[in-house]
Structure 1
Amino acid sequence: MGKWSVRKQANVLLGLSAAGILAAFPFQHTFWGGLAFGLFSAGTIGGLADSFAIGALYGDPLRIKWPRWMGTHIIARNRQRLISELVDMVERDLLTVASIQSTLREHHLGKVLALYLNSEKGKSEAHAMTQKLAAMLLAKADPEQLGAGLKRFIGDHGHTLRLSDLLADIGDWSIRNGYDGKALSFVLQPFVQLVQSTSFRLVMEGIIGSAIRAYEGEKFRRRLVDYTAGLSAGLISAKVQNWLAEFLSSLAEEGHPQREKVKAMLADFVRRLREDEGLRDRIESMKGKVLQELEQRVNLEEWVRQGLERLQTAILPNAGDEAERQDSPPFRWLARELDEALGALRHNEGLQRRLDDGIQSVLLSWIEEKHAWIGRLVREKLESYSEAELIALVKEKAGRDLQYIRLNGMLVGGLVGVILYLLTFWIRG
């Protein structure tokens, strides 16, 4: 049923009721004629009265200029009072702090947010937002201020840090988690590549050649023996190079005897870092010298500035080639940490509840602080409407229900007319 169909039905029913008065009037002296006349006349009066009242809301009913005391143009004349009533209703009845809090408690915002952030779209938006936030923070960072602060921190607290204890803690953690073997393999791999390089072979060939020449000197017999045995700097350096490469490669493999010895030496060194006071003092002395050299030779402000620029280039969403940017270490670290955090949030209900509590706490605090702003927003929106727009808004939202009032007025009026006729007819006998 369309929004204007009720109005048309009310108009048609009112017209039929008025026509019924004319049709029943000649027969009102009879019982049925009087009953029909009472029905149609009361229904018509009720419909006209309600039509007048509804029309008075918007302007002049029946398009007739009525005097002011008739109470027409109700919306226009009571505009400010209506707006104030609506604002008061929104603030004190509909959107109270208690009602908003009750609504929030009915929804598990932490779980909803966790599910969305782990979806493809949500994860993509989270990555983009995190990158923009990181880039914005880096852009606002002051390299000179950070460098000066870092220098003050090192100067004020560098001597309080026991480097030997820190190294011992790192060593203990690495050994417990099996990273000592991984670190050894990682360190040996560049040495293997270095030993296999042409430049290393040339260096070895030069050293061995010098040793052979020093051994032979001016003695012809030694030269003859070396030549007969095929001892040359190139041949010996190649054999040494191959042996070193094979040894270092095998040392990088698990289970190698020498590898276990190196790991045992590392464990012993970690133990000495805690127990050997002489070693601890030497390390602290070396730390002090390094800090002095850094303070004299390193420009921390420039170093921090360059570091921030590299991070901005790697993280900033619109910086550089997309594939190259995503392959940069800062970008991969940031993306990996975010993915791990989102995965933990998805499967940890306790974390979701804490997130839910945090969101509700922040929202309720903001709502309590800005609650009056809701009323101001509603008032500003309503006052922005002109008189014609406000009337059109009321018609759109309540016009259908007001037309039902007209229908009910005619039906109830007709019923009352029938009841009154029956009562008077009974009294007359």
Structure 2
Amino acid sequence: MIGVVGLSHKSAPVHIREKFALNKEEYTDLSQTILKNKNIGELVIISTCNRTELYFAAEECCSPGAFHILFHYLKKHIDEEDGIESHFYQYEGKSAASHLFRVVSGLESMVLGEYQIVAQIKEAVSHAEEIGSAGKLLTRLFHKALETGKQVRTKTAMSTGAFSVSYAAVEKCNSIFDQLPDKKILLIGAGETGELVIKNLYKKGCQNILVSNRTIAKAEELAKRYGGQVQDFKAIKEGIQGADIVVSSIACKKPLITPQILSEENTQKQTVFIDLGVPRNIDPKITDQDSVCLYNVDDLEEVVAQNMEKKKSYIATAEKIISKKLNEFLDWLSIQNLSPAIQNIIWGVNEINASELAVFKKFHNEEEYQNMEKYGKHMAEKLVKSMIRNLKNISDNGRKTEYIKVINDLFSQTHE
């Protein structure tokens, strides 16, 4: 079976999601730890600011058992025993594949149709292949999902307009300040999210932008492209002091901006902080200062809702594409699941037939043997057809792999 355990902006607030945000090293460690359990054969983890999802393939146990195993390791990862399950969703088989296809197509994103998720999923799959956690089933699943997402974006205008949380952040700033282009802006982080932020600020006519990043070369390259300047990451406090708007989107486990880093000047003028990081980059306690406004990714829902209304007309078309591609994947999956079991049934029944015919031949003449051989072949074919039909029914055409395993185990005994 294939399945997914996950949480997203729809099921958990940011203070819960940040506990399960994984960097590449944590992704690797968690994957390798989980795959030590013989019941989980493959694993791909997606970890973004709005979701953490574990897609898996399991053949050695039923779905409740597989979900129990994954929750055990997730609890161990954050060193908590109880209370996390309520924030997670879990799907298996068709529902798991459908969910992934919707995620890649942008239907499950906070900003409907956002494209950033595609690059994030490609990176997750690539890393899973590098560390050997993705096998035949999940590789096929994700490639089909990416194919689906591409077709959805080609056949609809889903990805036009407000296609990212970064865009929503800029729109939020625009709604707060009457003269956004005149404001001094500090952008912390020069990754994909940071690039989308400065790109959208540039489109709004903003030119007074400082870019700060741990790797100064990336900050210099991004600032140069959009007419900004570079702020030394080690002198981030000075950059904050002079800014009207601070947008942060770096990867960090503890807040980069705390109340202690704010200067007296920040407390005397209105300063807007937008935290696009998960885990959060900015300590919420900075809002103890009356002049400070702080927005995190969950606070951008108003802008997101406006974007959603514009794009609802595309959803029906997207869902038709997803349904077609999903059936293509499920047909492929059922063949992969059923083929070994069907071969085992055919082999097992024919072996029994051949063995019994060999005994029959010792005590009967050639004519009797030939008649019995024909009748035996007829009965074996009839039995095989009946068993394959029943196997398809009880396994939901190969989707419930635990039943297929029973058949394989049963007929493997005839090989010995």
TM-score, scaled to structure 1: 0.19
Specify the structure having the higher radius of gyration (Cα): 1
Higher strand share: 2
Higher helix share: 1
Which structure ranks higher in relative contact order (CA pairs < 8 Å, sequence separation ≥ 6)? 1
